[in-house]
Amino acid sequence: MKKLLLSSVAAATMLTTASVAKIATDGTGELLIAPAFYADQGFSTKLKVLNTSLNKSYIYRVAVREYVSSQEFDFIITLSPSDVWSGEIKPCGDGTGVCLVSTDDSNLGGAINVNITKRYNSNLSLGKKARSFKKGYVEFLPIAMYQEELDGTTSDPIKKKTLAERFKKIQGGASGGAAMNTVGGPYLVSGEGVAGFATLVNKDWKSSMTIPMTAFEDVVTLPTSPSGATVSFSVDASAENYIGKPGVDIIAADLKTQATFLPYENGGLNDGVYFTFWGDQSGREFTENAVFDFAKKKGCLQARSFSVHARDMEENPGEDTVARFSPDVNPENSVRCEMNSVIVSDLLSAANADNFKSGMVLLDNLTNVRNGRVKGTSDFVQKAGDNPAAIITYMNAVDVDGQTSYSWTYAPTLRK
C-alpha cells in the first residue's frame, strides 16, 4: 500500500495549540511503537493492539519497518470502542520470506496474508536494495479519532463498515463524519487510548516472551482552526510528519539516550541489547561506503556510535571499545542497522576472556555521528554530537531444567 496522501482540504482545518507530547506512563496513548519483531530461526512475533476507550473509535496506519533502512510495508486498521486487533509476523511456510498474517476484521481490506519480502523486493526502484524483513519494528500511527458517545452513554456497537466509509471520506478530503474529534478539552483521559503488546514465540523451544509497546500521548491535536505547528488527526499519517513537528520533537528529546547498562552471565552468550532508533525515517535507501551529500541528498543518515565498558564480578576492567551503527562504514566493531541486536559476548574483551564469565557492561556516549534530516522537514531533528532517540530493550535467556526461558524488558536509560 502506498503511503497515505490525504487531501490538503483536511489538513487546512487543523488546530495550532501547544502540544506536550510525551511517553505515556500508563501504556496507553495515540501512537505506538513495537520496538522489535523477529521472524527467523523458528521465531515469529504476535502483535496485539487494544482500544481501551469505551466510547471512541480510531483509524490507524500500521507500518512494519525493516531493520536496516526503515523501509516499510503498511496497511490500515479500524478500531471500534473496546476493540482488539491482532496479527502475526512469521517466516512464510514455503521458506521464501517473511509473511504478515491477520484474519482480524479490523483490517480495512479484509484478511491479510502477504509475503512482505516478496512484495517489497518486487517493487524495487533505482538505488534500493532487496530486504529480508526478518527483523525490525512496527509503528501504529493515528489517522482519526471519533467520539461515538458525547454523553458517555452506551450505544449500539460501531460497525466496521461505518469506519471504512469514514476513512474513504478522509481520503477524499472531508472531515470524516460529524463525530470526528468533536470532544472538547483533553480528548484522552488517563488509561484511555490504544495499548499494545509484542510476543515473540519459538514453537520448537516451546517458549515465548512478551514486551509492551511504547505508547506516546498528546501527539496529536483537535482540528478546529487553521494549523501549521502541530500534527492533527487526518493529516498524512507518515512517521516523518509526526517526528518533524515541534510538538513531537519533545518525544524525540524524551527518547534521547546517552547510556545504558546491563548484567551478563555465561560470558554474555545469553544476554543481548536491542537498539531501536527513532527519527531518521526518510524512506530512502542509501549507497554504502558513501558520505552523506546534503546538496544531492545522497548517502547515509544512520551513522551512530557508542562506547563499551565491561567489568567482571571482581570489577576487573575489560578493554574499552567503540562500536558504530552504520551501513556506510565497515570498521572493526561496526554494527549495521537502524534497529539492531547486539549480543553481549561480542562486546566483551577477548584479551582475558576467562575472567569475563559474569559481570556488567556499560554502554555510553551513544552519539549521532552525522546530521540526519527527516524527509519533508527543513530542520535537522537528529544532529551530529547529539544523543539519538532510541528505545532500548534487554533480552536474557536462562536454562531452566533443560528448557530455555526468555525475558525481555526495557533497559535503563541515562540521559544528560
pTM, 2 dp: 0.81
pLDDT at 253: 76
- Greater pLDDT, 332 or 366: 366
| Confidence band for 28, pLDDT divided at 50, 70 and 90 | very high
- pLDDT at residue 128, rounded to an integer: 65
Are 153 and 143 in contact by the 8 Å Cβ rule? The answer is no
Q: Quote the pLDDT of residue 88.
A: 98
Question: pLDDT at residue 22 above 50?
Answer: yes
Please state the rounded mean pLDDT for residues 364-388.
69
**Most confident segment among 119-133, 220-234, 386-400:** 386-400
- Confidence category of residue 196, pLDDT binned at 50, 70, 90: very high
Is pLDDT of 159 > 90? no
Residue 308 is predicted with a pLDDT of 87
Q: At which residue does the C-alpha cell 491477520 appear? A: 102
Residues for the chain: how many in total? 416
Residue % of the chain over a pLDDT of 90: 18
20: Cβ contacts below 8 Å, ≥ 6 apart: 218, 247, 250
Residue that wins the pLDDT comparison between 181 and 62: 62
- Predicted confidence (pLDDT) at residue 390 exceeds the cutoff of 90: no
Is the pLDDT at 178 greater than 50? The verdict is no
Question: For the ranges 131-135, 136-140, 378-382, which has the lowest average pLDDT?
Answer: 378-382
Which position has the higher pLDDT, 246 or 411? 411
Cα–Cα distance measured from residue 71 to residue 282, given in angstroms and rounded to the nearest whole number: 9
Encode 91-130: b = buried (16+ Cβ within 10 Å), e = exposed: bbeeeebbbbbbebebbbeeebebbbbeebbeeeeeeeee
Q: Examine the pLDDT at 181 and tell me if it is beyond 50.
A: no
Q: In this structure, what is the dihedral angle of CA atoms 116, 392, 369, 336, given to the nearest 10 degrees?
A: -40
> What DSSP element (H or E) covers 119?
helix 116-121
Mean of all residue pLDDT scores within the chain: 74
- Does the structure show a pLDDT above 70 at 396? yes
